[in-house]
């Protein structure tokens, strides 16, 4: 698990200082399953710009994390998702709501992945990615009640 609460740059600085960048790269290269949550999802992308600070990410997914183009930020609360075709994470959870709290997100996911999206005030963003052994969610499954617990169980069963 790559958890995350806070800012993109601070998360990357912490991972770098703790040797996490290398550890995650080795982990994924060995084909082990990895799950990112919130900022832990965001840092899997090539980079992000948050509060005017441009920071390189882990580069496991192409693309960048940017501020959502929405009147009301942060996007905080329960939201539905548009489940990507063939999703294992969301099996049986297609109509559930999940808990989000963020102002930044990736707007596009990898073309070679199952990408689930969500929309806040007209801004559509990547809510989850499933790509080989790496999966991640912009929302917090651990705060999403029974639906979040079921999503984590789906991920565990998939490996």
Q: Using one digit for the tens of pLDDT, what is the confidence trace for 31-61?
A: 999 999 999 999 999 999 998 999 999 999 9
Q: Which residues of the chain have pLDDT under 50?
A: none
Tell me which residue of 136, 114, 138 sits closest to 60, measured CA to CA. Answer: 136
pLDDT of residue 137: 98
| Domain count across the chain | 1
This prediction has a pTM of 0.96
Residue 53 in any domain: the answer is yes
**CATH code, 151:** 3.40.50.880
Q: Is residue 77 part of a domain?
A: yes
* Domain contains 48: yes
The single residue of 38, 96, 102, 130 carrying the catalytic annotation is 38
Q: How far apart are the first and last CA of the chain?
A: 14
- Contacts with 154 (C-beta within 8 Å, 6 or more apart), sequence order: 88, 89, 90, 91, 92, 93
Active-site residue, 142 included:
yes
Respond yes or no: is residue 140 known to be catalytic: yes
Give the per-residue pLDDT at 6: 82
Would you state the structure tokens that stand for residue 125, as one six-digit string?
Answer: 């963003």
Phi, psi for 135 (deg, rounded to 5): -130, 155
């Amino acid at each position: 698990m790559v958890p995350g609460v806070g800012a993109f740059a601070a998360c990357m600085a912490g991972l770098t200082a703790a040797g996490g960048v290398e550890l995650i790269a080795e982990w994924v290269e060995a084909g082990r399953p990895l799950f990112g949550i919130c900022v832990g999802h965001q840092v899997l992308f090539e980079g992000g710009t948050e509060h005017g600070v441009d920071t390189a990410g882990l580069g496991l997914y192409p693309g960048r994390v940017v501020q959502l183009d929405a009147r009301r930020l942060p996007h905080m609360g329960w939201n539905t998702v548009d489940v990507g075709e063939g999703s294992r994470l969301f099996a049986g959870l297609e109509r559930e709501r999940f808990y989000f709290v963020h102002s930044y997100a990736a707007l596009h996911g990898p073309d070679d992945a199952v990408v689930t999206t969500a929309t806040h005030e007209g801004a559509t963003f990547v809510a989850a990615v499933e790509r080989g052994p790496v999966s991640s969610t912009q929302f917090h499954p651990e705060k999403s009640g029974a639906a979040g617990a079921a999503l984590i169980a789906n991920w565990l069963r998939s490996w």
